Structure 1
């Protein structure tokens, strides 16, 4: 019980980290979500789809992150990295597993809402609302833009020098395309 009360009574992080743009965080999450959705959509049975979703999510968001210096596929594509807010370095596997276990359940609810709930708009809104709450909390945090699961496990998403800069490249391609259309 002592551990629970220590977790719930949080003091602020020891230092302020550079803020990752919230749009990049959203895009990185959506890329990871779409990749895992694609893998789990290959399975037709709902219970088996949940198991495949959680396994693929763990592989992409825990195994890959520990292997590739804090970056999953989405975070690499958008130059982001996850760090431990207290130590300033990559979180250990147990912290990442707990963190991603919590967010994977919320992401799977969003998947169910998007995949099966389109005829009923109310069910889509109900199943996606935990993701929206996470987003609103991250936007509302002025210091580190931590969502609920980030605060609970003391993790921070920060900009990285490693990555593909997909959003910048897409913006350049669109600008180039617009220039060519004007000519």
Structure 2
């Protein structure tokens, strides 16, 4: 029995590593938006252009890894063929994620003690990531992963930032004893 489907690789990525990689990308793009003094519609425009540039074009040229993905040894692959997704799949995936992240950034920027309703802008990214909690498959997918027909897997290529931080923490603990 032959099949054109390639079996999925084994390395499952913990959700905290995915969040940390997303956080690095979000922080760098958010920093650019703040440095440019963008707000409102300008913020959305600058953020989405930057987001798509780094999370679509860089990922397509860098074997499925953004800067955050490279830092934590994770990559995005097509869920069916186990290869770097094409531009269309990456664009669909990152448009959904980018809009949620842009709303999250607007929510952070507008948060004051008397304006707690702005927290509702953070809801789309929480719902998107929360879908993983109810996915019992071998490689749980977020909403944007399902839309783009992608999965996130571990990679041998990267900086291994999580391992380096763990090593430093262990070293500090040993020195304190």
Q: Do they superpose with TM above 0.5? A: yes
Conserved? CA contact 1:22–1:139, under 8 Å = no
Counterpart for residue 157 of structure 2: 162
User: Is 1:32 the counterpart of 2:25 in the alignment?
Assistant: yes
CA separation of 1:45 and 1:36: change in aligned 2, threshold 3 A: closer
Partner SS for 1:173:
helix
- Any gaps of 5 or more consecutive residues in structure 2? none
Tell me the equivalent position of 1:179: 174
Greater mean deviation of Cα atoms: 76-85 or 50-59: 50-59
Contact 2:7 2:82 (C-alpha < 8 Å) held by counterparts: no
Q: TM-score, normalised by structure 2?
A: 0.89
Shift of 1:140: 2.1
Which runs of 4 or more aligned residues in structure 1 lie more than 4 Å from their structure 2 counterparts after TM superposition?
13-17
Task: Give the deviation of 1:17 after TM superposition.
Answer: 4.3
Partner of 2:126: 132
Q: CA deviation at 1:136?
A: 1.3
| Partner SS for 1:162 | coil
Q: Indicate the residue corresponding to 1:148 in structure 2.
A: 143
**TM-score, normalization: structure 1?**
0.86
2:153 match: secondary structure? strand
Unaligned runs of 5+ in 1: 1-12
Q: Distance between the aligned counterparts of 1:152 and 1:49, measured in 2?
A: 25
CA RMSD of aligned residues (A): 1.6
